């Protein structure tokens, strides 16, 4: 089984507000994506599992547009490291999204540890004078355990930055060992994203580099699914499909020049190419 994840970032922001949403007004943006894609991906339900991670404001419309029996799973872009509990916190989480809220909104999965989330948490710690990679991993571990405890599937992102390339094995091992500590009992997949290669104009890693990293992650986790988080796209779909250790990919942008953004028709082209159709 292959796993195809899609991080819809903040693609809901319209062009007039400096965003890249050209698909639909914000009020129906989430529903539009589900309605335009769920029928097409149903034909691949025996080959792959599909998960879309939506910005919070669009979870309800996306979940409501999902047809009964659809192979599409709705997910959110992170959860709080604490959750509600009987006799404990009833939901006083202003500005945060506990795993219980994600579940109630229709989510079955969550994206944790994306390089943008890691950078944000590291930036907050830096404001307090703390520079500690382990601290970021410990916070993410709390999020993973909260998500697993609420029955959410987890896509956990790991990856090395440019200055960490020479010790990439040490970096990935720490992110895995600390991040997954005590998090058994749920469905967890790992997204390997080489942070140094992400962004316009940056050189992507070659097949051997990706395979070496994926093999390392497989061995370190006892065989958890590993997807390529550096961006599954039309240009690399066939190459990634040829790597035995890679079980899928994380799609974000479908167009990287001109009117950049996420486009359903281009998404389907990536899926077809990756699945060999």
Contact 85, 57 (CB under 8 A): no
Please calculate the CA angle 273-275-277 and round it to the nearest 5 degrees.
Answer: 60
Instruction: Say how many C-beta atoms besides its own lie within 10 A of residue 67's C-beta.
Output: 12
104 Cβ contact list (under 8 Å, min separation 6)? none
101 Cβ contact list (under 8 Å, min separation 6)? 91, 93
Nearest residue to 265 via CA among 28, 41, 67, 94: 41
Which active-site residues does the annotation give?
114, 193
Give 6's strand partners: 52, 251
Nearest residue to 175 via CA among 232, 221, 129, 212: 221
Q: Which two tokens stand for residue 28?
A: 């129906």
């Amino acid at each position: 089984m292959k796993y195809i994840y899609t991080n819809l970032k903040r693609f809901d922001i319209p062009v007039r507000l400096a965003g890249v949403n050209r698909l639909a007004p914000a009020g129906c943006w989430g529903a539009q994506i589900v309605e335009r894609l769920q029928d097409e991906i149903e034909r691949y339900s025996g080959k792959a599992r599909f998960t879309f991670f939506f910005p919070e404001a669009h979870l309800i419309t996306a979940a409501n547009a999902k047809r009964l029996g659809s192979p599409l799973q709705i997910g959110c872009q992170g959860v709080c490291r604490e959750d509600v509990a009987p006799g404990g916190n009833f939901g006083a989480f202003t500005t945060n999204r506990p795993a219980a809220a994600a579940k109630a909104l229709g989510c079955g999965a969550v994206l944790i540890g994306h390089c943008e989330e890691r950078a944000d948490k590291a930036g907050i710690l830096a404001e307090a004078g703390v520079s500690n990679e382990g601290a970021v991993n410990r916070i993410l571990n709390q999020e993973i355990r909260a998500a697993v405890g609420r029955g959410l599937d987890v896509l956990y992102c790991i990856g090395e930055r440019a200055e960490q390339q020479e010790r990439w094995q040490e970096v990935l091992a720490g992110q895995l060992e600390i991040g997954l500590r005590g998090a058994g009992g749920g469905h967890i997949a790992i997204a390997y994203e080489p942070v140094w290669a992400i962004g316009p104009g940056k050189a992507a890693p070659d097949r051997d580099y990706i395979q070496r990293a994926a093999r390392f992650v497989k061995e370190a986790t006892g065989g958890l699914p590993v997807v390529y988080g550096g961006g599954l796209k039309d240009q690399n779909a066939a190459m990634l499909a040829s790597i035995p250790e890679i079980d899928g990919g994380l799609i974000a942008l479908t167009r990287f020049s001109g009117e950049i953004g996420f486009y359903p028709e281009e998404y389907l082209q990536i899926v077809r190419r990756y699945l060999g159709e």
